[in-house]
Amino acid sequence: MKQLNNSDYLNNLRHSCAHLLAKSVKDLWPGTHNAIGPAIENGFYQDFDFGPSTSSGQAVKISDADLPKIEEKMRQTLKTWNHFDYKEVSLEEAKKLFADNPYKLELAEEFAKGGKKLLTNDPGSFLDLCKMTHVENPKKEMQHFKLLSIAGAYWRGSEKNKMLTRIYGTCFPTKEELDHYLWQIEEAKKRDHKKIGQDQELFLINNDVGGGLPIFLPYGAVIRQSIDNYIFQEKKKRGYTFVWTPHIAKSNLYVKSGHWKKYEAMFPPLKLEDEEYALKAMNCPHHFQVYLSKPRSYRDLPLRIAENGTVYRYEKSGELNGLFRVRSATIDDTHTFVRHQQIEEEYQRILDLIKKIMSDFGFKKYKMRVSTRDVKHKGKYLGEETLWRKAEVAIQKVAQKSDIDWYLGPGEAAFYGPKLDIMIEDAIGREWQCSTAQLDFVQPVNFDMKYIDEKGKEQKPAVLHIAILGSIERFMGVLIEHYAGKFPLWLSPVQVKVIPIADRHREYAENVAKILSADNIRTEVDSRNESMQGKIRDAALQKVPYMGIIGDKEVTRSVIPSVYPERSRREVEGSRSQQKLFISIRTREGKDLGQINLKEFISKLLQEIEKKY
Amino acid sequence: MKQLNNSDYLNNLRHSCAHLLAKSVKDLWPGTHNAIGPAIENGFYQDFDFGPSTSSGQAVKISDADLPKIEEKMRQTLKTWNHFDYKEVSLEEAKKLFADNPYKLELAEEFAKGGKKLLTNDPGSFLDLCKMTHVENPKKEMQHFKLLSIAGAYWRGSEKNKMLTRIYGTCFPTKEELDHYLWQIEEAKKRDHKKIGQDQELFLINNDVGGGLPIFLPYGAVIRQSIDNYIFQEKKKRGYTFVWTPHIAKSNLYVKSGHWKKYEAMFPPLKLEDEEYALKAMNCPHHFQVYLSKPRSYRDLPLRIAENGTVYRYEKSGELNGLFRVRSATIDDTHTFVRHQQIEEEYQRILDLIKKIMSDFGFKKYKMRVSTRDVKHKGKYLGEETLWRKAEVAIQKVAQKSDIDWYLGPGEAAFYGPKLDIMIEDAIGREWQCSTAQLDFVQPVNFDMKYIDEKGKEQKPAVLHIAILGSIERFMGVLIEHYAGKFPLWLSPVQVKVIPIADRHREYAENVAKILSADNIRTEVDSRNESMQGKIRDAALQKVPYMGIIGDKEVTRSVIPSVYPERSRREVEGSRSQQKLFISIRTREGKDLGQINLKEFISKLLQEIEKKY
């Protein structure tokens, strides 16, 4: 499909806004030093040193309450900014110009040492050392900004350095876009998966087990398992075979794959009987063993080896974030081994599967990033130049032929090959990268993979590394926020809450629950001594899709069979009890569906579940 | 049920036989030193030092070929052994008596230091230092022995010591029992799960990943998953709720549970940001977090928290053995939190569930071991004496009330409580301990677990630790040998192999396979250019339960619909194509079931699967 521009303009705009923030803060608090101010996803930040916190004088400490004042100053300043004036300077000149700012001095020295040009710019009474590009017409383009929050951050991210003050903000080309983003932030707060996860008892992260190591509580484990089963079924239908692999291996395996050197998030190794083992950070080397377990012929290919495998990644504790950033991540992984001439067709199948799955989860809009090497840092990658070129050409061809809009992501490739990354848009318009399909000519060389072709000749396969949901933990976090906790029926931990109005309706309620459970409808009975209204309210808070209310009216209308089935569905059908029982149904949205025959209700539920409403 | 004797007599018999072996070897190879000779499961061994392997003289090296000669010598010697003569000796006397045997000297010193009595015995011209008890009438009782194999073993198991020669043997009270055991060994060799696992491509253990870390290949993963699903369904029906927990936690969690000190097989810790983490060797501390995640009331109990959770246990590399002894073991774990007055009833339910599940896997005979503390080594256990006494009384009461025969296993308790261990008997009469249900009053104290009773008072629950299959890996090893690789239909990785006789039958065969797959029958088509006989032979070797053969006769008789369904079962039913297609069925046992209508065949298969044939 068509190639989109990537977000260079937005990055320039936001980075330019960091300059505006720096100037304004320095005007408000003279003597403050600005450090770095890059564009980040959805905005920018600017770091400041507000001066020494000596024992004599009180250091400046700003808070969220200062943000409006700073914004006001920015607005005034912006009026005078017509364009960024650039000038190349020598190290000596730079040292003079930024003599009072230790951060700029350090950067100037470093740039000079690295043989880089030293550039300054001045958009209006504010000279700064900066190698980035900026907007053409600041006064006009930078109007729609907003400061968002304040945090502490060490200079250059190292706790050995001074703690600076970081101000986050954002900037958009239009007011509409800014407003939409601010609405998104507010809306996202309401949907915070950490809060919903706690309220609905989905998962638990505690200090005894450790940060980034979520335990899925019974309700959360139901969702997790529903996702797991669904992925299994969809993949199985398409000829994927599943394996199971352990969570550790000798570290040599990762030396061979290159992860040991090139992948930063490996856990530290542990020693058993003089041999070094490591927790797996990736499933690939394990799945390669499956490929290598017997001689392969072209008839075996494509060979699709799948596993929802938990990997362990050493994320810094400061970067852990609910289910979004964890240390134990379960990847819905596939490694598909293909002949080179099968690459395009297999990619087409993969993209179709991604669209099917994402659409079943209610994500209908997507873009694709073609992630290629950072050509300036080729040392970050393994493998021969010719293989890389071939892979990057092949993957762009796939993108071009697909029906998904795409853009280039230079520097976003894996260390062994380029990737297609699918960006989905959630219910409030945020973008998430979950799916990835990576093309790898390098690992087949590392692991000496072979197959015999029709002519009896040895050939090397290519490997496609595919994750559709990515990390199931993170995907669940995205889902919770996407649905704001109101999961569709097929994913709801409790699908029906049966509510007896009085004690005398409890036995009937228990029997209705048994019949529902026999049809694999996840059912609970609320037999507390609460009012009906209270029970309905609690079930709605718990976001249970349907409540089945049982009172005198329902009991009277029903013909109650003398024997209730315990478990077997067949028995239940045999007794025909479903037809003779009635319940009144309410939805979590407060809709009253009135009295309904249990059999009819069950078939309605089963239909909804199958259609993934 | 009734209490059985435990196996003290067998142990005495076999250990006595080790003396006979020692005497006979020393007679055959004068100058040889005997070290230890204990009874082990199913037999005994005796260690020997055949003298120094100096550069000058050749050391004695015996092989399996020497075993008949040794047995003959043992038979001669036995004729003269009427009874064991015991005598207590002082350390000085012992030093004189065993002056030439460094191993006996070391043991004598050690026993004396430990304040133990020094006992010698002599059954007939063979004085030995030994604290064990022996049979009354050696000549008569010890007739039915057999030497089995030879291996190397370090003195006291330490690689720093000298490598000795270990001879394994067994002894039974009757010839019939010995013969049966020898038959079992031969039969077990044919059923060796390592060989079948390789032949049928079930699993893979290789040196790149590491010993004891099996990878389940696609076929093995199918069996594994079938077991997993089955356990999930059976537990779910009985009110178990499932959770998911990570494979690591801070080591402090295991310090709190006592595993860190009392459980030997913990993996070494690893450090992240100055905090120590460990791979979990047990799921309990994680499941306790689920209990503790919110306040509990008596209404929540019994609370059954289940997970098929993979744990990591540091087994010594020399002890690893296929799937029987692994380092990555997936326990079908449950931790059930109960009120003390619910213990008996819950145990009854657990025993019923164990019997149901084991019987579905074809194990119809079981015994139960009531595993209690080793009262001589109370330091091995955690928790107050009164709690232990209470638990040991309660668990014996459960055993007594159950309908399973049981015996006492002193010293077999877990460090936190006594256990009921179920021993199942496999198809060739071997016993396996898989299921365990442990009663624990200690961990609720360690983790300060509480619930509020009807009167609003705080109470402590008891924890039942339950594993029905034990380690799923080991259980699969047992199953492979139990079934000799001929899995019942519901567990077979490939349930039907469709065999087109000629190329022109291939399309028809593919369609039959699609229809079977749509009904979740695991189906493969053998479309190789092989003879029908060859394909049938290969499918039988692969132990596929049913082969569906398709040739001209089947195609001619069938009415072939023009459109074949791709996936949906509904479509398939809609097209009614099943009724109009015919195939000829053979079983892996070579039985010819003749031509059969596909619809009929599918319903036969589904019935068999449901009944777990």
Would you call B243 and A294 a contact, using CB atoms and an 8 Å cutoff? Answer: no
Could you tell me which residue, B55 or B284, shows the higher pLDDT?
A: B284
| pLDDT digits 0-9 by tens, B355-380 | 999 999 999 999 999 999 998 888 88
**Contacting residues of B for A268, CB less than 8 Å apart:** 270-272
Would you call B310 and A204 a contact, using CB atoms and an 8 Å cutoff? Answer: no
Would you call B215 and A305 a contact, using CB atoms and an 8 Å cutoff? Answer: no
How high is the pLDDT of residue B574? 42
* Cβ partners under 8 Å of residue A61, min gap 6: A50
Would you call B286 and A209 a contact, using CB atoms and an 8 Å cutoff? Answer: yes
B562: left (phi over 0), alpha (psi -120 to 50) or beta: alpha
Q: What tokens were used for A403?
A: 């029906």
Please report, to the nearest 10 degrees, the dihedral formed by the alpha carbons of residues A399, A401, A402, A404 taken in order: 70
How high is the pLDDT of residue A317? 87
Spatial strand order of the sheet with B419-425 comes to B241-242, B303-312, B328-338, B462-471, B431-440, B419-425, B366-372, B406-410
Contacts 24+ apart (CB under 8 A), A289-294: A289/A245, A289/B204, A289/B206, A289/B208, A289/B209, A289/B215, A290/A243, A290/B204, A290/B215, A290/B217, A290/B218, A291/A335, A291/A337, A291/A447, A291/A449, A291/A461, A292/A447, A292/A449, A293/B201, A293/B204, A293/B215, A293/B217, A294/B201
Instruction: Select the residue from A244, A287, A308 to test the B interface by mutation, using most B Cβ atoms within 10 A.
Output: A244
Closest-approach residue (CA) in chain A for B266: A272
Which residue(s) pair with A34 in the sheet?
A48
C-alpha A513/C-alpha A529 separation (Å) is 18
Q: What tokens were used for B137?
A: 């009438």
Would you call A244 and B208 a contact, using CB atoms and an 8 Å cutoff? Answer: no
* Angstroms from B53 CA to nearest CA on chain A: 27
Name residue, tokens 């914004």.
A71
Would you call A247 and B275 a contact, using CB atoms and an 8 Å cutoff? Answer: no
Would you call A218 and B567 a contact, using CB atoms and an 8 Å cutoff? Answer: no
| CATH architecture type of domain A9-188 | 2-Layer Sandwich (3.30)
pLDDT at B149 over 70: yes
DSSP tally for chain B: helices H, then strands E: 21, 28
C-alpha A53/C-alpha A59 separation (Å) is 4
Pairing mode of beta strands A546-550, A496-500 = parallel
Name residue, tokens 């630790």.
B465
**Contacting residues of B for A199, CB less than 8 Å apart:** none
CA proximity to A354, closest of A467, A242, A430:
A467
**Contacting residues of B for A516, CB less than 8 Å apart:** none
Where do you find CATH 3.40.50.800 in chain A?
496-611
**What superfamily would CATH give domain B496-611?**
Anticodon-binding domain (3.40.50.800)
Which residue(s) pair with B169 in the sheet?
B44, B147
Q: Which amino acid is at A59?
A: A
SS (H, E, C) B533-546: HHHHHHHHHCCCCE
Would you call B216 and A294 a contact, using CB atoms and an 8 Å cutoff? Answer: no
CA proximity to B266, closest of B408, B253, A371:
B253
Q: Which amino acid is at A481?
A: E
CB atoms within 10 A of CB A269: 16
* Angstroms from B250 CA to nearest CA on chain A: 5
- Cα A434 to chain centroid distance, Å, stands at 6
Q: How many CA atoms lie within 13 A of A578 on its CB side?
A: 19
Q: Are B219 and B524 in contact (CB under 8 A)?
A: no
DSSP letter string, B507-528 = HHHHHHHHHHHHTT--EEE--S
3-state secondary structure of A497: strand
**Contacting residues of B for A233, CB less than 8 Å apart:** none
C-alpha A431/C-alpha A421 separation (Å) is 12
C-alpha A322/C-alpha A337 separation (Å) is 34
How high is the pLDDT of residue B570? 46
Closest-approach residue (CA) in chain B for A514: B237
**Contacting residues of B for A286, CB less than 8 Å apart:** 209, 215
C-alpha A400/C-alpha A415 separation (Å) is 23
Cis peptide before B302 (omega within 30 of 0): yes
* Angstroms from A487 CA to nearest CA on chain B: 19
Q: Calculate mean pLDDT across residues A189-203.
A: 96
Task: Indicate the pTM of the whole model.
Answer: 0.89
CB atoms within 10 A of CB A344: 15
How high is the pLDDT of residue B555? 84
Pick from B213, B270, B290: CB nearest A268: B270
User: pLDDT grade, residue A574 (50/70/90)?
Assistant: very low
How high is the pLDDT of residue B116? 86
Where do you find CATH 3.30.930.10 in chain A?
230-245+283-483
How high is the pLDDT of residue B211? 95
* Cβ partners under 8 Å of residue A226, min gap 6: A490, A491
**Contacting residues of A for B305, CB less than 8 Å apart:** 218
Q: Calculate mean pLDDT across residues B544-569.
A: 73
Would you call B247 and A216 a contact, using CB atoms and an 8 Å cutoff? Answer: no
Query: What sign does the CA torsion over A574, A577, A580, A585 have?
Result: negative
Closest-approach residue (CA) in chain A for B528: A299
Which residue(s) pair with A550 in the sheet?
A500
CA proximity to A282, closest of A305, A258, A311, A254:
A311
CB atoms within 10 A of CB B318: 12
Closest-approach residue (CA) in chain A for B204: A293
CA proximity to A551, closest of A509, A599, A593:
A509
**Residue A408 CA: distances (Å) to CA of A388, A510, A533, B277:** 16, 57, 55, 40
C-alpha B600/C-alpha B609 separation (Å) is 14
**Contacting residues of A for B208, CB less than 8 Å apart:** 249-250, 252-253, 256, 289
* Angstroms from B270 CA to nearest CA on chain A: 6
Closest-approach residue (CA) in chain A for B206: A289
Pairing mode of beta strands A431-440, A419-425 = antiparallel
| pLDDT digits 0-9 by tens, B30-43 | 989 999 999 998 89
Pick from A224, A237, A241: CB nearest B567: A237
How high is the pLDDT of residue A560? 61
Name residue, tokens 């249990």.
A598
* Angstroms from A169 CA to nearest CA on chain B: 30
Would you call A209 and B253 a contact, using CB atoms and an 8 Å cutoff? Answer: yes
How high is the pLDDT of residue B560? 61
Which residue(s) pair with B450 in the sheet?
none
C-alpha B100/C-alpha B96 separation (Å) is 9
**Contacting residues of A for B253, CB less than 8 Å apart:** 208-209
Q: Are A513 and A525 in contact (CB under 8 A)?
A: yes
Q: What tokens were used for A336?
A: 């598909």
pLDDT at B499 over 60: yes
Q: What's phi and psi for A35, nearest 5 deg?
A: -100, -125
| pLDDT digits 0-9 by tens, A282-327 | 999 999 999 999 999 999 999 999 999 999 999 998 899 999 999 9
Of A116-125, A252-261, B241-250, give the lowest mean pLDDT range: A116-125
Supply the mean pLDDT for chain A: 92
* Angstroms from B243 CA to nearest CA on chain A: 5
C-alpha A498/C-alpha A509 separation (Å) is 6
Spatial strand order of the sheet with B592-597 comes to B523-525, B496-500, B546-550, B582-587, B592-597
Percent helix / strand / coil, chain B, rounded to 5:
40, 25, 35
Would you call B248 and A328 a contact, using CB atoms and an 8 Å cutoff? Answer: yes
Domain A230-245+283-483 has CATH 3.30.930.10: yes
**Contacting residues of B for A245, CB less than 8 Å apart:** 209, 215-216
C-alpha A353/C-alpha B567 separation (Å) is 14
Where do you find CATH 3.30.980.10 in chain A?
9-188
* Cβ partners under 8 Å of residue B56, min gap 6: none
Q: What tokens were used for A79?
A: 């009026």
C-alpha B382/C-alpha B443 separation (Å) is 9
Would you call B210 and A244 a contact, using CB atoms and an 8 Å cutoff? Answer: no
Would you call A567 and B328 a contact, using CB atoms and an 8 Å cutoff? Answer: no
**Contacting residues of B for A271, CB less than 8 Å apart:** 268
**Contacting residues of A for B245, CB less than 8 Å apart:** 209, 215-216
* Cβ partners under 8 Å of residue A470, min gap 6: A331, A332, A433, A434, A435, A436
| pLDDT digits 0-9 by tens, A530-553 | 999 999 999 999 999 999 999 998
Residues B124, B127, B131: CA angle, nearest 5 degrees: 115
Closest-approach residue (CA) in chain A for B290: A217
How high is the pLDDT of residue B65? 94
Pick from A206, A209, A247: CB nearest B310: A247
C-alpha A335/C-alpha B346 separation (Å) is 45
Would you call A328 and B271 a contact, using CB atoms and an 8 Å cutoff? Answer: no
Pick from B244, B248, B272: CB nearest A216: B244
How high is the pLDDT of residue B247? 97
Instruction: Select the residue from A159, A208, A524, A566 to test the B interface by mutation, using most B Cβ atoms within 10 A.
Output: A208
Would you call A215 and B241 a contact, using CB atoms and an 8 Å cutoff? Answer: no
Supply the mean pLDDT for chain B: 92
Alpha carbon distance, N-terminus to C-terminus of chain A = 29
* Cβ partners under 8 Å of residue A111, min gap 6: A117, A118, A131
**Contacting residues of A for B224, CB less than 8 Å apart:** 244
Would you call B209 and A317 a contact, using CB atoms and an 8 Å cutoff? Answer: no
DSSP letter string, A67-97 = HHHHHHHHHHHHTT---PEEEEE-HHHHHHH
* Angstroms from B242 CA to nearest CA on chain A: 5
**Residue A519 CA: distances (Å) to CA of A232, A522, A599, B498, B608:** 21, 9, 11, 33, 21
Would you call A293 and B201 a contact, using CB atoms and an 8 Å cutoff? Answer: yes
* Angstroms from B209 CA to nearest CA on chain A: 5
**Contacting residues of B for A243, CB less than 8 Å apart:** 215-218, 221
Q: Are A268 and B271 in contact (CB under 8 A)?
A: yes
- Give exposure, A64-86, as e/b (b: 16+ Cβ within 10 Å): eebbeebbebbeebbeebeebee
Kind and range of the H or E run holding A434: strand A431-440
Pick from B243, B310, B314: CB nearest A215: B243
Which ipTM did the prediction report?
A: 0.89
Instruction: Select the residue from B202, B216, B236, B243 to test the A interface by mutation, using most A Cβ atoms within 10 A.
Output: B243
How high is the pLDDT of residue A432? 95
| pLDDT digits 0-9 by tens, B394-452 | 999 999 999 899 999 999 999 999 999 999 999 999 999 999 999 999 999 999 999 99
